[in-house]
Structure 1
Amino acid sequence: MAIRDLLTLPNILSASRIPLAAGFLLIEKTPLRLALLGMASATDLLDGWIARRTGRTTQWGAIIDPIADKLFVLAALTAFLVRDDLSARDYVVLLSRDIATSIGAVMALALPGVGPRDFGARLSGKVVTVLQLLALLALCVAPRSMGVIVVVVGVASIVSIADYTLALAVALGRRR
C-alpha cells in the first residue's frame, strides 16, 4: 500500500466521516444532526463512485471507507443511546452487523494470505449501511417508527453476516 494512494479524493471523502461522527456526538440539535447525516451519506455515495469512475480504487480506500462508515454509525447511535432516545437492545441490534464483521475481519486478517480485499464491500453490507442511515434519519425525525426499522435492520444484518461469512469461507477455500 503506497502512501501516495492514501491522499486521494475518494479517501479524503471517506475520512471526512470521522470528524462528522465526532460532531454528531457533540451536537444535539436535530437540524444540525440532519445536516451531518446528509453530509455523511453524501460522502459515502461519492467516495466509491469517484474512485471507480476515475480508476482510483486503492487498498487504503478498502480500509478507510468501512472504518469511517462504522465509526459514523457507532458515534451517531451512541449519541442517541446516551440521551435515552434509543434503547440498549435496539442499539445492539442496529450495530450487530458491524460488531460481527469487525470481529470477523480482525480474525481473518490474522490468517496467512488474507487481506482486506478478500472480504471487501458486499451488496448485503451496503444494504445494512443504508438501513442504518435510515434508522438515524428516523431517530431524528420519526422516532416512533424505530420498532419496524430495528426489525428490518436486524434481519438484514443476519443476512449480511451470513453473506460475509460465506464469502470469507470461499476466499479461504481458494487459498488452500
Structure 2
Amino acid sequence: MPRATDATRIVTVPNLVSTSRVALGFGFLVLDAVPMRLALIAVASLTDFLDGWIARRTHAQSRIGALVDPVADRFFALCVVVGYVAGGQLGVWQAIALMFRDVMSIIGWFVARNVSWLRPITFKARLLGKAVTVLQLITFLVVLLAPSATDALVWFVFLVGVAATVDYTLMLWRERVRN
C-alpha cells in the first residue's frame, strides 16, 4: 500500500475548506457592497462548521488541520474587523474588544511554546472559545443588518472573550502540572 506523503496529509478537503476563509477574508476587504459582505460572512460561517464536520466524518482530522482552522478563523475575523474600521462601521475600541480573545490566544500560544518551565501541550478548541467565534460572526452580521445593536453585542463578545481567555489560561495551568 502506498504511503501517504506529507502533501496528501496537508491537502485534505477539510483543510481546503478551512483555507477558503483566507480568500473570503480578502474578498471582504475588496468588496464593500452589503449583500456581498453578508454572503461572505455566511459562507465563512458555513465553512467554519463544515471543515470540522467533514474531518470527523471522513476521519481526516490532523494536527495541521487543527492549526489551519483557527488561523483561518482569526484571519477572516481580522479582515472583517479591519474592513469595518476602515469603513467607519466599527470604532477602534470595538475592534479591540472583538479581537481581545484572539490576541490573548496568540500571546498564550507563544508563552506556552517559549516558557521553559511550561510543559508543551496540545491546544484544543474549548466551548467558550467556540462561543466567541460564533458571537463574532453574529456581530459581523449585526453591523450590517442592525447597527444600533452593535455596541451591546461587542460588549458581550468582549466579556465572553475574557471568560474564554481565563478558561484557556486555567487549562494551560492545569496541564502544566500534569505528568
SS at match of 1:85: coil
Cα distance, 1:171 vs. partner?
1.7
Cα distance, 1:2 vs. partner?
3.5
The two structures have a TM-score, normalised by structure 2, of: 0.92
CA deviation profile, 1:32-66 (whole Å, cap 9, x unmatched):
00111111001000000111122111001111000
1:134 equivalenced with 2:138 (yes/no):
yes
Q: Which of 107, 115, 120 pairs up with 1:114?
A: 120
Alignment partners' CA distance in 2, 1:5 and 1:106: 25
Task: Tell me what 2:149 maps to.
Answer: 145
Q: Would you say how many aligned residue pairs link Structure 1 and Structure 2?
A: 173
1:171 equivalenced with 2:158 (yes/no):
no
Identity %: 38
CA deviation profile, 1:130-167 (whole Å, cap 9, x unmatched):
00000100011111101110111011001100011011
Task: Tell me what 1:47 maps to.
Answer: 51
CA separation of 1:174/1:2 partners in 2, compared to 1, >3 Å: closer, same or farther?
farther
Task: Tell me what 1:28 maps to.
Answer: 32
Letter in 1 for 2:120: V
Task: Tell me what 1:11 maps to.
Answer: 15
Retained in 2: the 8 A contact 1:119–1:167?
no
Task: Tell me what 2:127 maps to.
Answer: 123
Structure 1: unaligned runs, 5 residues or longer: none
Structure 2: unaligned runs, 5 residues or longer: none
RMSD: 1.4
The two structures have a TM-score, normalised by structure 1, of: 0.94
Shifted more, 84-93 versus 105-114: the winner is 105-114
Structure 1: 4+ residue segments shifted above 6 A:
none
Alignment partners' CA distance in 2, 1:149 and 1:10: 30
